[in-house]
Amino acid sequence: MKTIITDLKNINKDYFNISNSDKIIYADECRNSCIGCFSCWVKHPRYCIYKDNYSNIVDYLKDSTELIIISKNRYGCYSKSVKQVLERCIGYVLPYFIIRNNEIHHASRFKNKINLTAYFYGNFDNSDKNCLYNLVKANSINLNALKFSVKFIEGDNYLHAN
CATH architecture label of 2-156 = 3-Layer(aba) Sandwich (3.40)
59 Cβ partners below 8 Å, 6+ apart?
46
For the chain, the three-class secondary structure string (H helix, E strand, C coil) is: CEEEEECCCCECCCCCCCCCCCEEEEHHHCCCCCCCCCHHHHHCCCCCCCCCCCCCHHHHHHCCCEEEEEEECCCCCCCHHHHHHHHCCHHHEEEEEEEECCEEEEEECCCCCCEEEEEEEECCCHHHHHHHHHHHHHHHHHCCCCEEEEEEEEECHHHECC
pLDDT-derived band at 162, boundaries 50, 70, 90: low
Instruction: Order the strands of the 147-154 sheet from edge to edge.
Output: 23-26, 2-6, 66-72, 115-122, 147-154
pLDDT value for 100: 85
Domain extents in the chain: 2-156
Burial letters for 123-158: b for 16+ Cβ neighbours within 10 Å, e otherwise?
ebeeebeeebbebbeebbbbbbbeebebebbeeeee
Structure confidence by residue, pLDDT tens digits, 13-70: 998 999 999 999 999 998 888 898 888 888 888 888 888 888 889 999 999 999 999 9
Structure confidence by residue, pLDDT tens digits, 81-126: 999 999 999 999 999 899 988 989 899 999 989 999 999 999 999 9
pLDDT value for 54: 85
pTM score of the predicted model: 0.93
Provide φ and ψ at 81, rounded to 5°.
-70, -40
Structure confidence by residue, pLDDT tens digits, 136-160: 999 999 999 999 999 999 887 667 7
